[in-house]
């Protein structure tokens, strides 16, 4: 079996158990003191770091080893997946100790690119949204390449039809009271 094939993760449900896409698309974390600024709220750049970390964790939970995607001292994958676009919208302030739920919504764009939309909620309320777009390239010549097979499998298994049943309702964002 190829890595990531069939969305098998031996840590969840035992070997040979097919996972629900929510297992790798719905993640949790806590806002830590180091994530905040002098005013005690999440520093703006942390959101994009959380996005990338959530993507890495999602791949791992799906069954794709980090070394298949990211370079290590021992090996460099045949394709790099640099971020070529990012954007973020901040809806509510986040403070130290706030619980976060992160929902990933990956989408294949072309044979060589995909993007992941991220929805951040805390206590049932949307607090932020973000998006990262990746392009597959040959790291040596910096030319576009087809997405790696393991990423294609992750994208296919993560398609909305595969995960729509697990999406939980979220209270719409409203501007904070002044």
Q: 3: which 2 tokens? A: 């890595």
Q: 25: which 2 tokens? A: 């698309």
20 belongs to the catalytic site = no
Residue 108: beta bridge partners? 114
Cα–Cα distances in angstroms (integers) from residue 74 to residues 63, 68, 77, 133, 149, in the given order: 20, 12, 10, 27, 21
**Which residues have CB under 8 Å from 166's CB, separation 6+?**
20, 21, 22, 25, 26
* C-beta separation of 91 from 119 below 8 A: no
Q: 161: which 2 tokens? A: 């039809």
Angle at 54 between CA 57 and CA 34, to 5 degrees: 115
Catalytic residue among 35, 37, 87, 89: 37
Cα–Cα distances in angstroms (integers) from residue 53 to residues 25, 58, 141, 145, 169, in the given order: 12, 8, 27, 24, 24
Task: Supply the residues annotated as catalytic.
Answer: 37
């Amino acid at each position: 079996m190829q890595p990531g094939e069939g969305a098998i993760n031996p840590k969840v449900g035992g070997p040979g158990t097919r996972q629900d896409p929510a297992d790798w698309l719905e993640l949790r974390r806590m806002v830590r003191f180091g994530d905040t600024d002098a005013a005690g709220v999440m520093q703006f750049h942390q959101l994009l770091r959380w996005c990338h970390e959530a993507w890495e964790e999602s791949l791992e939970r799906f069954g794709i080893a980090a070394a298949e995607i990211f370079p290590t001292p021992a090996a460099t994958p045949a394709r790099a997946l640099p971020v070529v676009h990012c954007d973020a919208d901040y809806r509510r302030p986040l403070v130290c100790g706030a619980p976060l739920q992160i929902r990933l919504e990956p989408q294949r764009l072309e044979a060589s690119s995909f993007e992941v939309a991220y929805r951040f909620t805390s206590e049932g309320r949307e607090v932020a949204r973000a998006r990262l777009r990746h392009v597959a390239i040959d790291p040596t010549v910096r030319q576009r390449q087809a997405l790696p097979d393991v990423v294609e499998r992750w994208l296919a298994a993560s398609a909305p039809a595969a995960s729509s049943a697990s999406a939980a309702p979220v209270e719409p964002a409203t501007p904070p009271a002044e």
